[in-house]
Amino acid sequence: MEEKILNSQEMLMKAVLANTSSATKISKVLAEHSEDKILKADEIILGLIYRLMTPMTEEEMIQSINEAESLLYQESSEEEEDSEEENIVDDTDDLSISKKIKCNTCNCEICMRCRVCLSNFNDYIPKDNLGDIFKNSILETCKIHNRIF
């Protein structure tokens, strides 16, 4: 019984990690197609919304699950962590002021789909419990950080 629980937890962890990894790729595309080419909170939120509302293709799913497994089972080394260099942009603004989530104006398929997803997000009803969890976490995080749809 305990093994079944551990397997279920592992499968759930892989699903969440695969979904988040895929959403991050979408966020990166949005940033690359924006005017300033900087990955900011809006692109991250939009990537999560896109991934919630747009099912992965079979190929995307296999790739995302493989990446999730690789992340779960890799051994991290301090050398790898030290060698990564990040440019951090303070995107927090004044959190007491409500800010509307913005999407770029690119007309590629992904960017256009993000705009459609954003405009339909509030009315979207997820198809399963995991989708409900993702939607509620997006809503709660946006509420905390005064991001509005």
The tens digit of pLDDT for each residue in 44-89 reads: 999 999 999 999 999 999 999 999 999 888 866 554 554 455 666 6
In eight-state DSSP terms, residue 34 is S
What is the arithmetic mean of pLDDT over 136-145?
94
Please report the pLDDT score of residue 88 as a whole number: 65
* Half-sphere CA count of 147, side-chain side, radius 13 A: 22
Mean of per-residue pLDDT scores for the chain: 88
Please report the pLDDT score of residue 85 as a whole number: 58
DSSP class per residue in 52-107: HHSPPPHHHHHHHHHHHHHHHHPPP-HHHHHH-----------TTS-EE-------
Give the type of residue at 79: E
Please report the pLDDT score of residue 95 as a whole number: 65
Q: How many whole angstroms from its chain centre is CA 145?
A: 16
